[in-house]
């Protein structure tokens, strides 16, 4: 198994936000974390990336315990994180954003040139400051993760705050990189979109895993869908 969480507990100060969370992601899988806002989905990604302290439990990557390692060390191992707020460098050009990520990453199939061939809008702006629209920022954030040639991408709310047409374009990008065999742990508020993009999923509520299965199995579980995902 590429990534495993076993009985992970994490806190924000005294607030117990992840409670015995266990899940796994296999090589080449897209796994979705589903749930309402505040369910612990994004915190799970941050715990994996070393951005939230894990008080107990274990996180393993390629069977090695990585619990508590710093984010830069996890990035060197091949774990990329695309945060909800994107965190691009607007005063650098698009190309400089990509080259900076590539310097810190590993050699592989994803190069700067390949990014421009895949994300045409980024190619058109490669020499311009990365002061982009929301959708373009999201594409740059995903592309920046790809040029590091990671083994897994932690993708947090990639369609959040985007206009429907732009969100659909970002969804298509995620679908395309999935087809190429990239491993993704995905947090997405729109459960139907998340399940259409993923092989399997976990439903979280109040920091606990309440249901798990293939995307088809979760869709068929009307009770879980209504209880934990219905607005």
Separation of alpha carbons 68 and 55, rounded Å: 9
The string of pLDDT tens digits covering residues 121-158 is 999 999 999 999 999 999 999 999 999 999 999 999 99
Beta carbons of 27 and 2 less than 8 angstroms apart: yes
Q: How far is CA 133 from CA 33, 39, 88, 150, 162, in A?
A: 26, 29, 12, 26, 9
Q: How far is CA 1 from CA 4, 56, 194, in A?
A: 7, 21, 22
Q: How far is CA 142 from CA 45, 46, 84, 159, in A?
A: 15, 17, 11, 12
Enumerate the H helices of the chain as residue ranges. 41-48, 71-77, 94-104, 112-118, 120-124, 134-146, 164-179, 191-197, 215-220, 222-224
Beta carbons of 202 and 41 less than 8 angstroms apart: no
How sure is the predictor about 231, in pLDDT bands with cuts at 50, 70 and 90? Answer: low
pLDDT at 98 over 80: yes
Sequence-separated (6 or more) residues with CB below 8 Å from residue 42: 84, 156, 157, 187
Sequence-separated (6 or more) residues with CB below 8 Å from residue 128: 93, 94
Number of H-type helices and E-type strands within the chain: 10, 10
Residue 205: how many CB atoms within 10 A of its CB? 18
Give the residues across from 51 on adjacent strands: none
Average pLDDT, the chain: 93
What domains can be seen in the chain, in order of their start residue? 1-78+190-231 (3.40.50.300)
3-24 burial: b if 16+ Cβ within 10 Å, else e = bbbeebbbbeeeeebbbebebb
The string of pLDDT tens digits covering residues 167-176 is 888 898 889 8
pTM > 0.85: yes or no: yes
């Amino acid at each position: 198994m590429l990534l495993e969480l076993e009985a992970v507990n994490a806190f924000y100060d005294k607030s117990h936000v992840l409670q015995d969370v266990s899940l796994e992601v296999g090589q080449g899988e897209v796994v979705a974390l589903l749930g309402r806002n505040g369910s612990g989905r994004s915190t799970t990604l941050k715990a994996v990336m070393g951005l939230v302290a894990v008080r107990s439990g274990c996180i393993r990557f390629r069977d090695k315990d990585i619990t508590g390692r710093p984010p830069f060390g996890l990035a060197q191992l091949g774990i990329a994180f695309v945060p909800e707020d994107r965190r691009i460098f607007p005063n650098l050009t698009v190309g400089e954003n990509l080259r900076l990520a590539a310097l810190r990453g590993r050699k592989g199939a994803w190069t700067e040139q390949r990014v421009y061939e895949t994300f045409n809008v980024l190619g058109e702006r490669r020499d311009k400051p990365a002061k982009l629209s929301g959708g373009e920022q999201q594409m740059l954030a995903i592309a920046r993760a790809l040029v590091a040639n990671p083994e897994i991408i932690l993708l947090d709310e990639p369609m959040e705050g985007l206009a429907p047409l732009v969100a659909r374009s970002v969804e298509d990008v995620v679908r395309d990189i999935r087809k190429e065999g990239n491993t993704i742990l995905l947090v997405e508020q729109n459960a139907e979109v998340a399940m259409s993009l993923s092989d399997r999923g976990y439903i979280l509520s109040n920091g606990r895993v309440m249901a798990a299965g293939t995307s088809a199995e979760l869709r068929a579980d009307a009770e879980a869908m209504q209880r934990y995902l219905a607005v």
